Every structure is written in structure tokens, then in C-alpha cells.
Amino acid sequence: MNQPQTMSQKILASRAGLPYVEPGAIIEAELDMVLANDVSTPMAIRGFKEIGGERVFDPARVVLVADHFTPNKDVGSALITKEINEFAMSNHLEHRFQGGRSGISHVLLAERGLILPGELVVGADSRMVTHGALGAFATGVGASDLSAALVTGRGWFQVPATTKVELGGDMGPWVGGMDIALALLRLLGPEGAHYQSLEFTGPLVPRLSMDARLTISNLMVESGAKAALFPVDQVTTDYLKDKAKRSWASVAPDPEAVYSKTVKLDVTGLEPQAARPHRPHDVAPARRAGYEPVDQVFIGSCAAARLEDLRVAAQILTGKQVHPRVRLMVIPPTPRIMLQAVREGLVEIFLAAGGIMGPPSCGPCAGAHLGVLAAGEVAGATAHRNYRGRMGHPSSRIYLAGPAVAAASAILGRVADPAEVLS
């Protein structure tokens, strides 16, 4: 009789060619997809050459995305783009995204149907956990592991224990995926999911959109999660219906699966949230997060700037003006989302309010390109990290929040609850 397993165990066991894997075991497994971006690719290419790599293991299962420094911000980033292009062309890669076809990798890959339920995926970026929303075991690796993966199509893993996260209750006005994610970070703390795989369940899950699920999975790495998986259900099937590039099979945990612990969050009564500088876990309702003035508001990143998020921000900003002191930057994460935002009139709303639109990219999220903060400046952002110096000068400060709070803050010029703007 087979031993019961969680979703994570099943995926890892399947890719390792084993009937069962025990938490803590070291395994070698076949990868379904490997991702590198313009930060990690140069190091991976060097490692690839050092270990004697001549061709990648499969040109259809390697994705290269220029998202951090696009459009090229300086000569250095231009050289990186050139190196990536040459590597992609010499290896005949099918999935190379740059320029007007690019976007943030952790939004782009889901949008293009390149990561699917039950798959094992790695990339040299901690935000790979985002794709757990699709029912995949997706995780970040270092440059050396990425180099080896490019050559062999395989990776090694220590099988994580699994934490069950039960989500229940009813969401109130202006509460979305980012608010749930921040509430979970407050609950888990910085190490509450250390080297754990999180698996979401509970009566709220079927009512969460895929955009909300992607946001929640995205932020879980801030509590140390190795992966963060949602169940494969009708929401998943509907999302992938016109996107999936390969066939896929649903994976579900066994009813008797063993979890290391269970964490419960009832969102009933949850207000729009904000995380105060300089910790993603220092979370409070936005109306009590502090009345600190903000100099910049950034609605973008792979955390909470998908189409659903842009629609929320536009609702708040319709007929309003950005505070004279505030720079509002809105950066859709992919060209397709940008185009749909144009079609729906969202871009016109942002521009009419006094906002600045940026090209699909990571923008100021990592503090390297577009909208870098000066000394002492304060930002509100729909991003995933607010560490000291994350978006610019070490003395700058960042509040993390969902699109409703970000838009309200841009209007009032301070951290604000959307109810303050709409009352």
C-alpha cells in the first residue's frame, strides 16, 4: 500500500521516478522548465561554460527573460542583453522574451501557459514560488544549480515538510490577494515557513481568483517557504484553458497526508493591510499603519499589479488627482496586461490622475531601474519586499500594500485606507 503524500511530495516523487519521498530526503529529479532572467543569466552562462556545457538539455524547456533592466538602462545592461541574446540564439531557445515581448518573468510564464499543474520548475530567483498558484512545485535556486540544470535538465532537492494553510471567511471591501498575503506574513513571521512547502486549502480558496492566488504564493517566500501550492481546481482549469502549451495532469494531496503543522486564517473582518518599513511581516491595517507622508507610489511588480489589481487601482483613482507631492508610477507587468489596460481605459485613468506609465518590467522594485528613491524618501508599493535600501537610497522607506491602499495613498499623499478617499 502506498504511503499518503502531500502535493509537494507527489510532484517531487514523480519527477524523481520514485513511488514515495520522505521529508528531509535528498533526491535528484527531472525538471519541466528552467527560468533565468537578466540578473541571473550571465552567472549561469559562465557556470554553464565552466562545466563543459555545449547545448542546453532541451531548447523548449529553457526560458530567458529580460525584466529587471529593460529597456536597457545603461551600457552594462545592454551588454547583458547582448550576451543573453547570443546564448539564446546559439542554443535555439524557443522561449526568449525581451523588448516589446518581455515582461516580468513571474507574471509572463503563467500568462503564456509555460508552467502547468504537477510540474517541477526552478529559476534563479526567489519569486519562483509564485507559480505554486498553478499547482506546480516551483522554487528558486542559486546560479551554480541553474548552470547544472541548463546542462542536465535535472536538479537536487531536499524534500521539504509541508504546512497546511487553511483560508476561510469572507473578504470585505477593497480586500484582495495582497491583503491576505500580508496577513499571512504577519501570522507566520520571517521564519514560520522556513524550508517548508505551503499547501493552501479551506472554504475561501475556491473563491480566490488566479490573480489573487499568484499574489499570495508570491509573498510566501518572505516567511522562508520553499514552495507555495494552491489546489488544482476549476479556477485553475479555467485559467489555463486557452493558455496551456502542453498537456497536464491534476495533482492532489492524499486525504491522509501528513503535515508538519496547520495554520489558519479567517479573513472575515480583515481590513486593507500595509507592511511598515523595513519588514514585510510588520503588518497592520492601513488606517493604523502610520500617517507618514509618501513621495512615490509604485503600482507594479510581480506581486500585485496584474489586470485585476490595475482595475482596483483605477476604481480608486477615477476622477481623482494624485497629490502634488507624489510621483505615481504604474507599470503593468506584461505587454498583454498593458494592452488590455489600454483597451479598458485604465491607462487613461492613471494618466488623467497625474500618474506615470512605465514599460512592462520590474521597474523600481529591486531599486535598479525606473523610479529609484532618493535619501529619506518614502514610497508605497504593491511590491513584495521593503527591506532597507530595496528601492534606492539606504535611508529611504517602503510601505507594502495592495492596489487599493496604494491608489488611496497616492491621492492623499500619505499611507491611507481606500475608505478615506471614497467616503
Q: What is the CATH number of the domain that holds 76?
A: 3.30.499.10
CA 319 to chain centroid, in Å, comes to: 30
2: in domain: no
- Does one domain contain both 231 and 292? no
pLDDT in the model for residue 140: 96
Please write the tens of the pLDDT for every residue from 71-105.
998 999 999 999 999 999 999 999 999 888 999 99
Separation CA 265–CA 130 (nearest Å): 20
- Does one domain contain both 81 and 144? yes
- Does one domain contain both 237 and 301? no
- Does one domain contain both 125 and 208? yes
Strands 378-381 and 283-285, bridge-based pairing: unpaired
Mean pLDDT value across the chain = 96
Among residues 264, 290, 322, the one where a domain terminates is 264
- Does one domain contain both 216 and 296? no
**Cα first-last separation, the chain:** 61
Beta bridge partners of 123: 35, 140
Among residues 264, 287, 321, the one where a domain terminates is 264
pLDDT in the model for residue 1: 52
- Does one domain contain both 296 and 391? yes
- Does one domain contain both 84 and 146? yes
- Does one domain contain both 73 and 178? yes
342: in domain: yes
Query: How many domains, in total, are found in the chain?
Result: 2
Please write the tens of the pLDDT for every residue from 120-156.
999 998 999 999 999 999 999 999 999 999 999 999 9
Please write the tens of the pLDDT for every residue from 237-296.
999 999 998 999 999 999 999 999 999 999 999 999 999 999 999 999 999 998 899 999
Range of the domain at 78: 7-264
Give the cell for residue 31: 525538471
Three-state SS letters, 373-418: ECCCCEEEECCCCCCCCCCECCCCEEEEECHHHHHHHHHHCECCCH
112: in domain: yes
